């Protein structure tokens, strides 16, 4: 059987890697000059692992996904922490007891912490929109504060819409944490591939049954040559935008090198209220690389414009989901093509979710 995979991002690479032992011939085509999609990384002249499309931190609770990827890489046991500049101070995000104590007078902080502990479970996340519903005046104040200082302006910069106009799945990504754990993720498995993402991807497709063709555009006439196609490009593009374009957000990165050992206190610092960028990522932290230079990226959200920049995030809301459903209906009539990935499924997948989807697909295809 001959399979065509369009797009050499995490989704198709994981799928290829999980199907490769079978009697299948897999051709992966990729329009860019490298594999890995937006997870592509490289080591620069300082031996620092640069994530070319912004910081990527692998985290999952899915043991299958972790074991699957661990065939292709060892992991640096990195645990992600994010700080945000709020009222002139760098505080842990998600907002937790430490952030509260840093920003509020002692007695007030104490009351808030007690109230959080009495209303919510310890060491758990509470979505900010849920905290807003609390009857306790201190927690209402806290909710408004976090909403305003962490959430509202970051979200406006990032998405160019008000939080209410986004799916709660997106807004639910920034909770308040009931405890002192400063980590951004509490997932059981977290890490950065020890030799980088791209090296891991190379190993995933290193097999005589898999051929990767870079700088290769997809053309519908290719479908005739294959028994099945896995398409991880944009589903609206596949159908020539017949129902209109699915909206996306894009990003622009300014990479800067400073001749000093460290630029900031940790790998990612968010700037919800200041500047036009949302965050600065400093790359040496991910693999704890020692260097006299610090390499950082300033991250500027921008509109996705076809032909001008790349798609990064589907903008998930009711209207866009309806538009996607129309494409999905259309897709169902073509049994020869399976859509997957952030762009094929129009879903805000984290890396592990993309891999989990591919492992499921591999099972049904086997």
- Interaction site with ligand UDP (CB under 6 A): 84, 93, 150-151, 154-155, 158, 170, 173-174, 270, 272
CB of 239 to ligand UDP, least distance (A): 26
Q: Judged by CB, which is closer to ligand UDP: 31, or 173? A: 173
Per DSSP, the three-state class of 309 is: coil
CB of 79 to ligand UDP, least distance (A): 15
Q: Judged by CB, which is closer to ligand UDP: 65, or 150? A: 150
First to last CA, the chain: 12
Q: Judged by CB, which is closer to ligand UDP: 18, or 158? A: 158
Distance CA 57, CA 191 (A): 7
The answer to whether the CB of 325 falls within 8 A of the CB of 274 is: no
Q: Judged by CB, which is closer to ligand UDP: 173, or 188? A: 173
CB of 206 to ligand UDP, least distance (A): 29
CB of 151 to ligand UDP, least distance (A): 4
Question: For the chain, what is the total number of helices (H) and then of strands (E)?
Answer: 13, 19
DSSP 53: T
Q: Judged by CB, which is closer to ligand UDP: 93, or 113? A: 93
CB of 22 to ligand UDP, least distance (A): 33
Give which of 294, 236, 231 is closest to 263, Cα–Cα.
294
How many alpha carbons fall within 13 Å on the CB side of residue 340?
Answer: 28
The answer to whether the CB of 268 falls within 8 A of the CB of 82 is: yes
C-alpha dihedral, 184 to 187 to 189 to 192, nearest 10°: -20
């Amino acid at each position: 059987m001959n399979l065509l995979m369009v797009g050499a991002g995490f989704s198709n690479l994981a799928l290829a890697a999980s199907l490769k032992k079978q009697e299948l011939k897999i051709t992966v085509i990729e329009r860019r000059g490298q594999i890995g999609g937006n997870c592509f990384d490289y080591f620069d002249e300082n031996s620092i692992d640069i994530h070319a499309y912004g910081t990527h931190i692998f985290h999952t609770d899915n043991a299958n996904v972790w074991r699957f990827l661990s065939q292709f890489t060892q992991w640096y046991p990195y645990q992600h922490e994010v700080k945000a500049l709020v009222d002139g101070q760098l505080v842990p995000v998600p907002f937790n007891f430490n952030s509260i104590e840093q920003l509020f007078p002692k007695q007030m902080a104490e009351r808030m912490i007690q109230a959080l502990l009495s209303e919510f479970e310890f060491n758990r996340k509470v979505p900010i929109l849920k905290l807003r519903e609390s009857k306790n005046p201190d927690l209402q104040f806290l909710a408004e504060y976090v909403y305003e200082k962490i959430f509202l302006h970051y979200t406006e910069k990032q998405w160019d819409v008000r939080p209410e106009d986004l799916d709660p799945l997106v807004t639910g990504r920034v909770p308040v944490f009931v405890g002192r754990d400063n980590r951004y993720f509490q997932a059981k498995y977290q890490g950065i591939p020890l030799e980088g993402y791209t090296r891991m991807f190379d190993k995933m497709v290193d097999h005589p049954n898999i051929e990767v063709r870079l700088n290769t555009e997809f053309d519908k006439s290719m479908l005739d040559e294959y028994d099945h196609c896995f398409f991880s490009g944009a589903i609206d593009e596949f159908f020539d935008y017949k129902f209109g374009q699915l909206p996306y957000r894009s990003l622009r990165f300014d990479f800067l090198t400073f001749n000093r050992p460290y630029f900031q206190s940790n790998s990612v610092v968010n700037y919800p209220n200041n500047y036009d960028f949302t965050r600065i990522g400093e790359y040496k932290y991910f693999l704890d690389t020692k260097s006299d230079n610090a390499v950082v990226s300033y991250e500027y959200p921008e509109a996705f414009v076809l032909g001008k920049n790349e798609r990064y995030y589907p903008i998930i809301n009711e209207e866009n989901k309806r538009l996607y459903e129309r494409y999905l209906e259309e897709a169902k009539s073509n049994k020869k093509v399976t859509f997957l990935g952030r762009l094929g499924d129009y879903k805000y997948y984290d890396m592990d979710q993309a891999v989990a989807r591919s492992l499921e697909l591999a099972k049904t295809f086997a």
